[in-house]
Amino acid sequence: MNSNQNNTDNQNDIQRGLLLESKPKTKKPSMYNVLLINDDYTPMEFVVMVLEKVFNKKSEEATQIMLHVHKNGIGVCGTFTYEVAESKCKAVMDLAKKNEHPLQCTMEKS
Ligand code: TYC
């Protein structure tokens, strides 16, 4: 088969939607750290509760993360895709607001 014929076949396949991607799209999504910020007023038990409820941490790990934030001023509570990180941040801020604590949560590209 000459190259002209081959080309025509490809064009026909494209028109009929038959050609497969030569490279399958396997792009990984960007990931985002969700960070808790320390403050002087939010009770330690409340922060631990938030880490258990929002980030599904067991009480031992939740306590470790809370103490890390308490000592260092900031700490990572988890790494997620953009939409999940955004929703976790919102859940933390909603709980803090509802309970009148100044707890702050933010996210950064990991
Ligand atoms: N520093 C707070 C206290 O002494 C506890 C705390 C920890 C607050 C982590 C916020 O993200 C935080 N009660």
Instruction: Show the CA angle centred on residue 105, arms to residues 83 and 28, nearest 5°.
Output: 30
Cβ atoms of residues 104 and 37 within 8 Å? yes
Q: Whose CA is nearest to atom 12 of ligand 1?
A: 38
Q: Is the pLDDT of residue 15 over 80?
A: no
Rounded-to-integer distance, Cα 77 and Cα 63, Å:
11
pLDDT tens, residue by residue, 30-47: 999 999 999 999 999 999
Ligand 1, closest atom to CA 41? 13
Mean per-residue pLDDT for 95-108?
Answer: 98
29 C-alpha to ligand 1 centroid (Å): 32
Rounded CA-CA distance 60/110 in Å is 24
Beta-bridge partner residues of 37: 74, 104
Atom of ligand 1 nearest to the CA of 103: 10
Q: Which residue has 């933010």 as its token pair?
A: 106
**Residue with the nearest Cα to atom 10 of ligand 1?**
38
Instruction: Bin 95: left if φ > 0, else alpha if -120 < ψ < 50, else beta.
Output: alpha
Q: Which atom, in ligand 1's list, is nearest to the CA of 75?
A: 11
Tell me, what's the pLDDT at 23?
76
